[in-house]
Structures are given as structure tokens and as C-alpha cells.
Structure 1
Amino acid sequence: MNFAEAADGTELAWASKGEGEPMLLIAGQATSMDGWGPTAELLSRSYRVIRFDHRGIGRSGKGDAERYTTRLLAEDAAVVLKAAGADSAHVYGHSMGGRIGQWLAIDHPQKVRTLILAATSGGIWPDAGAQPKKAALEALVSGDMSRLEELFFDAEWVRAHPEATHTFFNSRASAWAKARHFRASREHDAWSSLNAIQAPTLILHGTRDALTPLPNALLLREHIRGSVLVRVPGAGHGLHLDHPETVDWIRQFIARKAS
């Protein structure tokens, strides 16, 4: 385990595994680096995978309350890259991690080789079809794993991967930090800046995602020039874990863009 020092002095825990081009994994709201589980393992066979705990989560310090915005959390991600000795990396963000990844690509374009956005959005959109279902938001706020499982994962995958499921939903975080993560994610608004993203961008989105409905992915594709959208049939919000075929699609996307 390693630690990087953020701008306000907060210690950010990070780890890396594998060899090859760096790939930074940015976890979702109130989720630790360990939540990437089998996906990190698969990716580490092709890349040097760098993971970290957001401030307030896992082994990282909680830091200043005012720094809990997706844009400032992107500055934390940049600090981790520097600490890992990576001038640039492929950046893979899930959910709130995708929101953070957007700002990293906007504010630090030289650091992002390619951008992979899974189950995320550019912010709240006025069209009701793009907004989370009420029941899904209530389940998210409840933190009840039994209610959340069906929103994120295929039931068969959960039965086959009980440890990965438990780890994903049980990151060490205080109520204070969880509330600030929730607010940071909900207040994210990058729509007017997404056209500044220069990195080749792959958008992965499940067709049955109730937390971030599919119209968000369609809007991202419209706003990010040259981006590629892959709809994942039947997938929910946790497609980055329970649909391992997405790892192959990511490898293929990066290989094409590098050639």
C-alpha cells in the first residue's frame, strides 16, 4: 500500500499491479479501490493497473469538507498518478468515478491517454427519462445491500461472486464521507465542458441501469466528440464487474486508438 499527499495534505491510499501502459481505475461513490475486485485482476494482465481510495473512503484520510466535489476529486486522481510515476494513463471511471474522470480529461488532457466511462453521466439532465428512478435512489440512500444488488448486478453473478459483491458494497466509510460523496455526485455538471475532452472516449452503459438510465449515455456520446458508445444488453449499474466481456472491449478500443 502506498500513499500520495493531496493539495490539502490529505493522505490518499493507492496501489498498483501489473505491467505495461498505466491504467487508472476511479471507483464510484463511497466505493473503495478494493471494489474493483475481479475487473482489476483481469485488466492487470494487460496494463499496470493503478487504484486508489477516494478521500473519506477505505484507507485514505477524510480531508477538508469543501474538497468533496467531482472536479476537486479529479485533482486527487491527478496527485495519485504523479505519485505512481505515471505521466499519463488510460482512465477508467465507474459511476461517480466516470464523473471524476471527465474533469480529469478536461483539466489535465495531457494525463489521459484514453477515457473509459461506465454507467455515468455529465450531470443531471432536465429530461425525466435521464433521471434516476425514485425507487433506485431510495435504495442507494438506504445502503441496504439486499436492495442494491439487483440494481447493480445480475443475480447469477452475485451467487457466483459473493466475496466480490460483499467487498463492493461494504467499503469502510463514515456517514459524514458518504453524505459528501453523494452530494458531489449529484451536483456534478460538466455538460458545457465535455466538448473539451480530447482523449479517445469509450462509453459503456447497461440497458437496464435504473440509477443512471441509458439516455445519459446517449447524451454523453453527443457531447464528447468522436466518442464510442457500447450498450450492454440487460446490464445494470454494476456492468464494470458482472460483465467481464467489457474488459475485452476496452482492450480492443485501446489497441485501435493506439495503432
Structure 2
Amino acid sequence: MPFAQAADGAALYYEVRGAGEPLILLSGQANDHRWWDSVRADFEAEFTTVVMDYRGTGASDRPDTDTYSTPGFARDVLTILDHAGIGQAHVYGTSMGGRVAQWVAADHPGRVDRLVLGCTSPGGPHGVERGPEVRRALAQFDADAARRALRELMYTPGWLAGHDGPFHTLGDSSMPAHARRRHLRASARHDAWDALPRITAPTLVVHGTDDLFNPTANAPLLTDRIPDARMHIIPRARHAYFEEFADIATPLVLAFLSKGPGVRPGIRG
């Protein structure tokens, strides 16, 4: 299994598959590389995909140290790209992965060809936070009820009625408590507002209209703040739009990454 070693010595697990230009796929908070399992093969038909386990998840090391932050995860991304011998890549990050991707693109513009930010936020005082009712639902003492609430934030009722899982977007169940807490803190402390204008890569912002987990209002904030950004909003989609609405989202992203005419500045879904 391939591992890269971070500057602090942490072992970072990653996988490389497919053929074509490199594309690194970045998962959501407290999730490992399996987040992308349902759609990864579609990207491998055109790109060399790289997926990774953040520190604290999957097969990567899980240090109980103050090394968890979205800029820190971005440095881990660069460590993996270096270890894989990849100079420049497309970057597609969703949820917390989109927060990490913002730092990769802002701090290392020469390493990013095209950037896709899915269901994510600029964070900080400018970001739009989820509502108190969502926070209460996720913080329920009944673990089964909280997990059910998370599923319903990720997927529409129609999708859940026809899919029993397994769901790879609900968190890595093998994470120790300290890593889960540190992931939550890292995502909550994200604030890339001042860095966003430094992003030079052509950028596609994707979001669902019905995303309450990471409110849709964050999408135009990112689009307006990043110099060469365009936006596509998918009707009825919740947080896991890339899985449930893959028939819309995957061709959209493939067209953008392939530099084809399928996505134009200002497009709205």
C-alpha cells in the first residue's frame, strides 16, 4: 500500500488509479477515501485519480497532536502529490475537502490546473453556517437518531427509500474519538476568505439547492470571491449531490476538467 510521510512523520495513505491527467479527489470531514467509491470509476475513464485518507482516518496515522487544520490537510495533499511524482493536478474537493482544496489552490497556484469546489464554504465570519435545528439534530443523545438525521441531510427521502447502503459519506467509524474531535475543530476553524482572491485556477463551484448541512448560500460567496469562478446549482440535491445526482454532477465536472465547452462562466443549474 502506498504511503507518503508528512513533515511531522505521519504516514498518509493514498491510492492512484486510472489514466490521463492527474485528478485528486478530497473527501469530507472525518471520512476516508471511500467517500468517492460510487463515482470514482467514472473519473478514472478520463483521469488518473488520486484519493487519500486524511490523517486521523482510514489507513493513515492518527496522531493525537495539534496537526489537524484545513491548511495542514492541504500540506498533506502536497506531500502525497510529491510522493506520487505529480507536479500539477486538477483538484476536486467536497465539503471539508473543498475547504482543504481552497488552501491548496490559494497557496500553491502552480500545482493546480483546474479546481472544483463542491458543497463547501469559505468559512469564518463570511461563511453561512448551518442552522440551529441542524446542529440539534446532529447532537442528539440517541446515536441512531443522530445518524439517521445525518443520512437525511446527505440524501433525499426518495434516494434513501431505494438505497440501503452501505453509505461511505457518514464518517469513518474506525476513527478514534480524538481524531474525530480534531477533524470537527479543523473544519469549524476554516477561514479562507482573505486567501480566495489568490486562486488563479479556473474554478467550478457546485452545490445542491436543498443542502442544509452546508447551506447553499455559500456557493455564490465562493463564486464571487474567486477571480475565475463559475457556479452550477443542482435542483433538489442535498449534501451528497455528487453521489445521488451523479448523472448530473459527474458529466458536469468531467466537461469542466476536460476544458470542453460544457461549462461556461455564469452557468446556473
Fold shared per TM-score above 0.5:
yes
Distance in 2, Cα, partners of 1:96 & 1:252 = 23
TM-superposed deviation, 1:158: 3.4
Query: Is contact 2:30-2:171 (8 Å) kept?
Result: no
The answer for the alignment partner of 1:122 in structure 2 is 122
Unaligned runs of 5+ in 1: none
Query: Is contact 1:30-1:178 (8 Å) kept?
Result: yes
Residue among 181, 185, 188 paired with 1:186 = 188
Query: Is contact 2:201-2:228 (8 Å) kept?
Result: no
Q: Report how many aligned residue pairs link the two structures.
A: 256
TM-superposed deviation, 1:146: 1.2
Secondary structure, aligned partner of 1:213: coil
In structure 2, relative to structure 1, the CA distance for the partners of 1:126 and 1:15 (3 Å cut) is closer
Q: Percent identity?
A: 35
Distance in 2, Cα, partners of 1:13 & 1:158 = 31
The answer for the alignment partner of 1:248 in structure 2 is 251
Where does structure 1 differ by over 6 angstroms across 4 or more consecutive aligned residues?
none
The answer for the alignment partner of 2:132 in structure 1 is 134
Query: Is contact 1:125-1:131 (8 Å) kept?
Result: no
The answer for the alignment partner of 2:178 in structure 1 is 176
Distance in 2, Cα, partners of 1:161 & 1:168 = 13
Q: TM-score, normalised by structure 1?
A: 0.93
Q: Deviations over 1:102-124 (max 9, x none)?
A: 00001111111111000001103
TM-superposed deviation, 1:164: 4.3
Structure 1 counterpart of 2:235, one-letter code: P
Secondary structure, aligned partner of 2:117: strand
Structure 1 counterpart of 2:30, one-letter code: A
TM-superposed deviation, 1:155: 3.1
Distance in 2, Cα, partners of 1:170 & 1:179 = 12
In structure 2, relative to structure 1, the CA distance for the partners of 1:66 and 1:230 (3 Å cut) is same
The answer for the alignment partner of 1:224 in structure 2 is 226
More helix by share: 1
Distance in 1, Cα, partners of 2:213 & 2:28 = 12
Residue among 195, 219, 223 paired with 2:197 = 195
TM-superposed deviation, 1:157: 3.0
Unaligned runs of 5+ in 2: 262-269
